[in-house]
Chain A
Amino acid sequence: MEKLSLPQVTVLYFARSAELTGLREEELVAVPTPISSGDLWALLLRKQPRLVALQSRVILAVRRQYVAIGNQRLSLQDGDEVAVVPPLSGG
């Protein structure tokens, strides 16, 4: 029998998401995989409820690749990087 272990991923917070969470990064342990991108976002919201302010106005990137928050199926591995990137508008 193969031992089932759920991956641990690193979540990086940028711009407003770093302000809202007070964090630049955090570890997310035992993330179910495969997981839909919508469920991954919901998981982040449970962990950091204040992120709801960014709902549908944020870029989510997994392994430095844009994912649309919705039905996209993601296979996560240990050490994967998830980035939460709201737009910056200053200049």
Chain B
Amino acid sequence: MAQEVCSLKAQLEEKEKEIAHLKNKLALLEKSNASVLEVQDKVTPLNPLTAKPALSNEDIMRYSRQLLLPELGVKGQLNLSGASVLIVGCGGLGCPLAQYLAAAGVGRLGLLDYDEVELSNLHRQVLHGEENQGQAKALSAARAVKRLNSTVECIPYHLQLSPKNALQLIQQYDIVADCSDNVPTRYLVNDACVLSGKPLVSASALRMEGQLTVYNYCGGPCYRCLYPLPPPPETVTNCSDGGVLGVVPGIMGCFQALEVLKIASGQASSCGQQLLMFDAQGFRFRPIRLRPKQADCAVCGESPSVTQLIDYEAFCGSAATDKCRKLNLLSKDQRITVQEYKSVVDNSGLHILLDVRPLVEVDICHLPFSLNIPLSSLEQRKSEDIQLLQQRIVQLKQQMAGDCQPPVYVICKLGNDSQKAVQVLEKMSGSELDNITVKDICGGLMAWATKIDTRFPQY
């Protein structure tokens, strides 16, 4: 009898443990389900965000080190909890920005990006990890930010900001941060902020330099007040062809976070009529005092001509992406494919292979036997480089029978600069250089790497 009681008690205890375990499991699942992030592929209306009436004990502990600042205090922290910020671009600027805004307790973060995480992003886009490659950047960033502070509402937008959706989206946020990587998007975000009356905290970075300004804020200028005309597309350098040291957008994104936090918490930004320039090489910060907003500005002026969003890709003459454009400067008979070039090599055809990339890229990878003269040296007619090329042409002519024109095949990374170089060389042929036949190798070394030799590095 006693033995049976004991055994039943033990069984009961076992079942109770099991029940407790299941309850725990369920609670955990329900909790993580509640914070599941839903990627938005279109703009939908959001519930109004209200500031917390008071800080919880957990809030007080979490934010204690910033609550101690008289500049912020409890009031500033409560203001942050009621503030929403839209981050346009979750790349080198957007990652540190989102990180610090979430950590500081901003109520709602909209994280917008149309791209997916790639290996070449990771050196600067520090919210994404190796395991996130191929994922939507907006989602990857939102997940990372959630881990940091689960109380922040994160809305990942995996969509292209466009004249159709920008106003509807931007109207739902208090502050907009431009962390984009291309000129058309910068004009689009600017105009949408002016039309909906939102402050625009804007940063940019390239190579070893950064810039920061708060536009459309307290009587200060907008982006168009400073740059009424977009730069010609061929003069714009982006991070994928100009390069950038990851920490430089990192620093600029942190500055953006600083200004956003000041505005969101109710302090004033000091960047409203100021352009801050950062020269990372010389470690110099240089603030430039800007003029106020311009009465004749096309969008924020007294009689604006832009009263609704326009076609920004047409306005700028370039696509709203930082991916490289494909130029088409030459006719078909001025170009050969990588396959055709491969057969020239296989048949030991006499030729010069001219690589017109900058030296720093040639150091990364190059084809054997190529002669390197950067496009800029050709354009500037650098005499030692022209002499070198002329020597090689003369040598080749001696090796060739008859008096045919030595063929020069021009290559670069993607096949844009090589086309420009063909145009320059054709002008020089027969004058500054002996007569040559110049052809561009379509698609450049990256086409070579994908179509001919998959062991050749891509960058």
A residues contacting B by CB (< 8 A) are: 12, 14-16, 19, 24, 53-54, 56-57, 59, 61, 64-66, 68, 83, 85-91
Contacts and interface: CB of A to CB of B under 8 A. Distances in A.
Contacts of B242: 90
A83 B288 contact: yes
B236 A85 contact: no
Interface string B164-203: 0000000000000011111100100000000000000001
Contacts of B182: 89
B118 interface: no
23 contacts: A15-B206, A16-B235, A24-B279, A54-B235, A57-B230, A59-B275, A61-B288, A64-B289, A65-B288, A83-B288, A85-B211, A85-B288, A87-B204, A87-B211, A88-B206, A89-B186, A89-B236, A90-B205, A90-B238, A90-B239, A90-B249, A91-B204, A91-B205
B239 to A, nearest CB: 4
Contacts of B91: 91
Interface residues of B, number: 46
B23 interface: no
A14 B237 CA distance: 13
A88 B239 contact: no
Contacts of B288: 59, 61, 64-66, 83, 85
A16 B206 CA distance: 10
Interface string B270-301: 00000101010110001111110000000000
B93 A91 contact: yes
Contacts, number: 96
Contacts of B239: 90-91
A70 to B, nearest CB: 12
A87 B235 contact: no
Nearest to B182: A89
B204 A90 contact: yes
